[in-house]
Amino acid sequence: MPLFGTDGVRGLANGEVLTAELALTLAQATAVVLGQGRTAEARRAAGKRLTAVVARDPRISGHFLSAAVEAGLASSGVDVLDAGILPTPAAAFLVGDVDADFGVMISASHNPAADNGIKIFASGGVKLPDVVEKRIEEALTQPKLQPTGAAVGRIRRFADAEDRYVVHLLGSLPNTLDGLHVVLDCAHGAASGVSPETFRDAGAEVTVIGADPDGLNINDGVGSTHLDQIARAVVESGADLGIAHDGDADRCLAVDAQGRIVDGDQIMAILAVALKDRGRLVADTLVTTVMSNLGLHRAMAERGIRVETTAVGDRYVLERMNEGGFSLGGEQSGHVIMSDFATTGDGLLTGLHLAAEMVRQGKTLAELASVMTVYPQVLINVSGVDRTRVADDPGVTDAVAAATAQLGDAGRVLLRPSGTEPLVRVMVEAASEDDAKRHAETLAAVVRERLAL
């Protein structure tokens, strides 16, 4: 089974896989593989040392995992800049900002506190392609670098890491946030210090919840996966909007002044229209996944914006953005990538630009979000089935064709096999909740009957 998943190495911290030993060995293997690139070779030829940025979220397991990663890197002759607790997109930005050879983020994002993960960024702060991750896995069992004496790496505190990131975020804004009252939910995670500071520096009045990390409470009833608290806080405080991050702050969801959720699709719609109006939306194109709401597709078409879709996962969105040179993409879950300013999804950047657009246009978030109509979406997971036959079984394809014909332009059907489990996800969008539910249940029954193991 591959070590790397869709977003680095992730699992139960100190469990069967994600141990201190693995973290150290993985860091040594990374030094071998990423230390062989053209940039690294040019650096050595110029008499410079290899450098890596390391950051983490506040989980208690981050202490021993980051220590093991830094030990592995230093023992391989790599100088380490320890950035401490910072969001994942901050680590990615800093790799490029200080011209480091690569970076390592210790985080399990929105997962519970007991989990953790190791994510590696290449030079420039970009995610590793699959082929490089495979080379690192292969290097785990191969000889490591073993410099001695003055050739071993140094570990230094990256003292101005947070300041560099804040200055970068503020410099990206088209206008200040003066006059805006924002509630921030930091998920007791990596954004707990930097997000409130940045929004205040941008001019906003800030109310903060979920910003008291103790190493065990990350994502626990707070953050972008638990929006009840921030919705209540926005209404009770009379704020203009709420911004919710996840544990490593690479995503952003919002609530309007009435406490209604504004999801990633709506946020992308707002930003796409704003960028197009300012001539900043490259090729008038938005990149998103197949799970994005039909309402987003219709709203963009009405405004002359083309939507390109990819498989589910922000890495696939990013790959397509890089291939086409596009400036905006993301997922319904709140991973939004603004490539003019970031190499990955950045929840702080997204939230700041969403708030800035409210100020620039003098509109409420509800008014901005009305750019698209959200179609009811029903998702049913059908387990215990042969996912490999979903596209070939005539009974399933006929049922999909029938549902699609009945829905016409007012709906959409998507059957998506799981990549790892005997499971098929049945998603239906329709003009009404009842229609979506009826078609989804009918299709799920057909999948269950036709593809049963």
Residues assigned a catalytic role: 109
Amino acid at 431: A
Q: 102 vs 63, 76, 180, 248, CA distance in Å? A: 20, 14, 37, 19
Is 419 in a helix, a strand, or coil?
coil
Query: Which of 419, 452, 436 is closest to 379 using CA atoms?
Result: 436
C-alpha distances out from residue 284 to 122, 155, 356, Å:
29, 45, 21
Q: Is 248 annotated as a binding residue?
A: yes
Nearest to 269 by CA among 357, 352, 363: 357
Task: Give me 2's structure tokens.
Answer: 């591959």
Query: What are the backbone angles phi and psi of residue 333, rounded to the nearest 5°?
Result: -70, -10
185: annotated binding-site residue?
A: no
Q: Report the distance separating Cα 326 and Cα 209, nearest Å.
A: 34
Residue tagged 């500071």 (tokens): 197
Structure tokens at 277: 């109006």
Distance CA 425, CA 379 (A): 7
Query: CA 231, CA 327: separation in Å to the nearest integer?
Result: 30
Amino acid at 149: G
CB contact set of 271 (below 8 Å; sequence gap of 6+) = 328, 336, 338, 350, 353, 354, 357
Look up residue 257 and give its two tokens. 């002044």
Structure token pair of residue 394: 């005539």
Region of 441 please: left (phi>0), alpha (psi -120 to 50) or beta: alpha
CA distance 120 to 26: 10
328 contacts 271 by C-beta, under 8 angstroms: yes
Copy the structure tokens of residue 111.
């997962």
314 exposed, middle or buried (CB, 10 Å; 0-12, 13-18, 19+)?
buried
Q: How far apart are CA 306 and CA 404, in angstroms?
A: 22
**Sign of torsion, CA 399 402 406 410?**
positive
The answer on whether 250 is annotated among ligand-binding residues is yes
Q: How far apart are CA 271 and CA 301, in angstroms?
A: 15
Q: Is 201 annotated as a binding residue?
A: no
Annotated binding site for Mg(2+): 109, 246, 248, 250
